[in-house]
């Protein structure tokens, strides 16, 4: 499937090998891994970074294989899930940097268009998360309140 705002025809890259059970060399203690997830979240790490740290430093190749649930589900069960999903927060940070750039470079039409595309993507993804219930229904994107929304 092609990209919405570019001429790309799809994505390429490596795929994870199909493994149906946890390797014997990896960490096997489920309670310890859940405690590590909560500890890493308290330090301010995102869910993607938590998975990377667990893989690289704690010998957990796949949290989902070990626990039967994803990192975000562990955070939800413990009441630590963020109010705004991580993908929207990343797009909000990108929008902040584009707004800062456009404040200094008012005639940069290419980046003005890019800001419009990022804002459209924020609205589209937020609609999806509101329908699924993973985000509050009264959340709205407003450019003038953008800095308040970014953590």
**DSSP string of 68-133?**
SS-HHHHHHHTT---SS-HHHHHHHHHHHHHHHHHHH-TT-HHHHHHHHHHHHHHHHHHHHHHHHT
Cβ contact 74:38 at 8 Å: yes
The two three-digit tokens of residue 82, written as one number: 């963020």
pTM (two decimals): 0.82
> What fold does the segment set 86-149 form as a domain?
Helix Hairpins (1.10.287)
Q: In tens digits, what is the pLDDT along the chain, a chain of 151 residues?
A: 457 777 777 777 788 888 888 888 888 899 999 999 999 999 999 999 999 999 999 999 999 999 999 999 999 999 998 889 999 999 999 999 999 999 999 999 999 999 999 999 999 999 999 999 888 999 999 998 888 888 6
Residue-range domain boundaries for the chain: 30-77, 86-149
**Within 13 A of 122's CA, how many CA atoms are on the CB side?**
24
């Amino acid at each position: 499937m092609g990209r919405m705002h570019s001429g790309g025809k799809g994505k390429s890259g490596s795929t994870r090998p199909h493994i149906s059970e946890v390797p014997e060399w990896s960490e096997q203690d489920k309670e310890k891994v859940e405690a590590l997830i909560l500890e890493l979240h308290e330090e301010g790490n995102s869910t993607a970074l938590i998975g990377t740290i667990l893989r690289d430093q704690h010998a957990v190749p796949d949290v989902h294989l070990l626990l039967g649930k994803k990192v975000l589900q562990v955070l939800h069960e413990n009441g630590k899930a963020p109010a705004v999903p991580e993908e929207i927060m990343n797009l909000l940070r990108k929008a902040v940097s584009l707004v800062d750039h456009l404040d200094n470079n008012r005639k940069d039409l290419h980046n003005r268009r890019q800001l419009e595309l990022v804002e459209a993507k924020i609205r589209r993804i937020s609609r999806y998360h509101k329908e699924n219930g993973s985000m509050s229904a009264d959340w709205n994107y407003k450019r003038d309140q953008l800095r308040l929304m970014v953590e």
